[in-house]
């Protein structure tokens, strides 16, 4: 057993990322010290604070890790889960650094976590814990529009981000940029339209792009295009839920959906919106009338399919099940769902893995748009929507005169429309995901790198090196 392996024989999560980093470093010729600096976590804040729950005082364990300060602010979500630990949060913070660099989002990576199970705690108590955590971050200067900007992650959402903002504002009243201290807020509280579904939509754009690359599709024996591809999604949180909807709408066939309590399967395809309605009404996806139950949820990962999307937690594909995975493509919607040992097994089998540091970057990309919106204090499209509509109307008049043919009302409506915030956000996200994909593939080709993950790391590390070289080392 190597020094990096834990008792169960698998690597610690941070070591997994170090392994991926080291593979990529072989393609980069740069001073070793700089690579070591990029790899290291700059600041780790581990805290314990008391919260009164009922008549009892509970001591809460929480973290905020800033992996890199090569760009500021630092950026990354906050997760609420009983599995939260320092190694996990450090790793997720590092992934944020690499992710942001790939999609040209000018932030250093960070991550936070509170060790609680939000499903067993009342919302009043979750609010108390969230507000106390925020005040701890403020005390230590670990939050602020130019310092470190949290966002939602596993177990958190708009509600928590709203509380974080409100706590920040009450302790920093008068800060005109306070809204930009956190992203993923509700639209009514300074959020941006399209943030909620951004990670799932980014996953969809990334996989759609891959499915249009002939060479790649033929290499795994699939036809070009997304229509008709058989997909399994594991995890129906915010990311999996939206990804499933976008894939379904685009004509892909969702053959299985997996949740904690079990999975459901129908080889002809599941009607995703009906499944979600069933989930809402019954609190579980199991016993959906048009599907078979699979009691052992892990078995769903091993079903025959074209594309597997793990969208829940890390390390779900490991050395003990990797050999049984039958998917031809794996899209990492979650952070770190495949261990390095499993990665090697799947690589040998010829599976195309679209790595997390690219594929789930849609969330932070739209968080960047939200942060910019908050700093500019104006909604996207507000200044130009009407102007564009007026210009379009003029164009239309000219076209009708030149063509001597009237344009139908439906066509007119489409052409006249000026951009709304959601249109701008989605097109910005689509462009980012398409660009990121091709940059990774171009680098993979030009350096003859064996897989997308290593190519994505090389792309990312090169960009971080570039900023360090321009910044210099102080003093």
Residues that bind ligand GLU (CB under 6 A): 75-77, 151, 153, 183, 335, 360, 363-364, 367
284 is in an annotated binding site: no
Task: Judge whether 261 and 286 are in contact, CB under 8 Å.
Answer: yes
Record the tokens describing residue 182, joined without a space: 């956190």
Record the tokens describing residue 173, joined without a space: 């009243």
Residue 204 CB, shortest distance to ligand GLU, in Å, is 15
Instruction: Locate the DSSP E strands across 36-89.
Output: 43-53, 56-66, 74-80
Beta carbon nearer to ligand GLU, 346 or 357: 357
Sheet holding 108-114, edge to edge: 43-53, 56-66, 108-114, 74-80, 148-152
Please identify the residue of the shown chain whose CB is closest to the bound ligand GLU: 77
Record the tokens describing residue 365, joined without a space: 């990309």
Helix/strand/coil for 297: helix
Beta carbon nearer to ligand GLU, 148 or 259: 148
CA 41/CA 93 separation, integer angstroms: 8
75 is in an annotated binding site: yes
Rounded to a whole number, what is the distance in angstroms from the first to the last CA of the chain? Answer: 41
The DSSP code for 70 is: S
280 is in an annotated binding site: no
For 140, phi then psi, to 5°, come to: -100, 10
Residue 319 CB, shortest distance to ligand GLU, in Å, is 25
Q: Which of 39, 71, 111, 439 is catalytic?
A: 111
CA 260/CA 312 separation, integer angstroms: 9
Beta carbon nearer to ligand GLU, 202 or 340: 202
Residue 76 CB, shortest distance to ligand GLU, in Å, is 5
Record the tokens describing residue 360, joined without a space: 């789930």
CA 331/CA 456 separation, integer angstroms: 14
Residue 151 CB, shortest distance to ligand GLU, in Å, is 3
**CB neighbours of residue 227 within 10 Å:** 11
199 is in an annotated binding site: yes
CA distances from 137 to 64, 153, 204 (A): 8, 17, 34
Residue 362 CB, shortest distance to ligand GLU, in Å, is 8
Active-site residue flag, 111: yes
Record the tokens describing residue 398, joined without a space: 């000219």
Closest to 167 measured CA to CA, from 195, 196, 120, 129: 129
Which helix (H) or strand (E) segment is 301 a member of?
none
CA 162/CA 88 separation, integer angstroms: 25
SS (H, E, C) 125-186: HHHHHHHHHHHHHHHCCCCECCCEEEEECCCCCHHHHHHHHHHHHHHCCCCCCHHHHCCCCC
CA distances from 149 to 41, 114, 218, 372 (A): 17, 16, 42, 12
How far is residue 118 CA from its own chain's centroid?
A: 20
- Residues classed as catalytic: 111
**Which residues belong to the annotated binding site for substrate?**
75, 99, 367
**Which residues belong to the annotated binding site?**
75, 99, 199, 238, 367
**Which residues belong to the annotated binding site for NAD(+)?**
199, 238
């Amino acid at each position: 057993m190597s020094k990096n392996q834990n008792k169960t024989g698998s690597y610690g999560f941070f070591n997994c990322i170090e392994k991926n980093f080291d593979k990529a470093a072989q393609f980069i010729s740069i001073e070793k010290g700089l690579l070591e600096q990029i790899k290291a976590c700059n600041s780790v804040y581990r805290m314990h604070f008391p919260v009164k729950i009922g008549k009892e005082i509970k001591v809460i364990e929480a973290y905020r890790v800033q992996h890199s300060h090569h760009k500021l602010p630092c950026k990354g979500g906050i997760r609420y889960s009983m599995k939260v630990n320092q190694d996990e949060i450090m790793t997720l913070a590092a992934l944020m650094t690499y992710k942001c660099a790939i999609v040209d989002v000018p932030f250093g990576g960070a991550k936070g976590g509170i060790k609680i199970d939000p499903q067993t705690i009342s919302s009043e108590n979750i609010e108390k814990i969230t507000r106390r955590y925020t005040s701890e971050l403020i005390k230590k200067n670990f939050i602020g529009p130019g310092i470190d900007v949290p966002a939602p992650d596993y177990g958190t959402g708009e509600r928590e981000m709203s509380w974080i903002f409100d706590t920040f504002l009450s302790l920093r009243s008068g800060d005109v940029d306070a809204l930009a201290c956190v992203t993923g807020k509700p639209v009514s509280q300074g959020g941006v339209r399209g943030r909620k579904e951004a990670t799932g939509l980014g996953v969809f754009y990334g996989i759609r792009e891959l499915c249009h690359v002939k060479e790649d599709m033929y290499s795994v024996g699939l036809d070009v295009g997304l229509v008709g591809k058989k997909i399994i999604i594991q995890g129906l949180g915010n990311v999996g839920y939206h990804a499933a909807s976008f894939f379904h709408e685009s004509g892909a066939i969702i053959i299985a959906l997996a949740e904690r309590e079990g999975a459901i399967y129908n080889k002809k395809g599941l009607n995703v919106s009906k499944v979600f309605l069933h989930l809402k009404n019954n609190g579980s996806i199991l016993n959906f009338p048009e599907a078979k139950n699979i009691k052992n949820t892990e078995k769903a990962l091993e079903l025959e399919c074209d594309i597997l999307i793990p969208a829940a937690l890390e390390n779900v594909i490991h050395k003990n099940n990797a050999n049984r995975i039958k998917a031809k493509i794996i899209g990492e919607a979650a952070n770190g769902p495949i261990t390095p040992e499993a990665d090697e097994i799947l690589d040998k089998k010829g599976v195309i893995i679209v790595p997390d540091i690219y594929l789930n970057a849609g969330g932070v990309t739209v968080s960047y748009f939200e942060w910019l919106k908050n700093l500019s204090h104006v909604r996207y499209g507000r200044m130009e929507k009407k102007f564009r509509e007026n210009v379009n109307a003029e164009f239309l008049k000219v076209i009708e005169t030149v063509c001597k043919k009237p344009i139908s009302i439906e066509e007119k409506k489409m052409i006249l429309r000026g951009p709304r915030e959601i249109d701008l956000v989605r097109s910005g996200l689509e462009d980012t995901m398409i660009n990121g994909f091709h940059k990774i593939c171009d680098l993979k080709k030009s350096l003859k790198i064996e897989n997308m993950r290593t190519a994505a790391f090389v792309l990312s590390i090169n960009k971080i090196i570039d900023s360090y070289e321009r910044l210099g080392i102080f003093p």
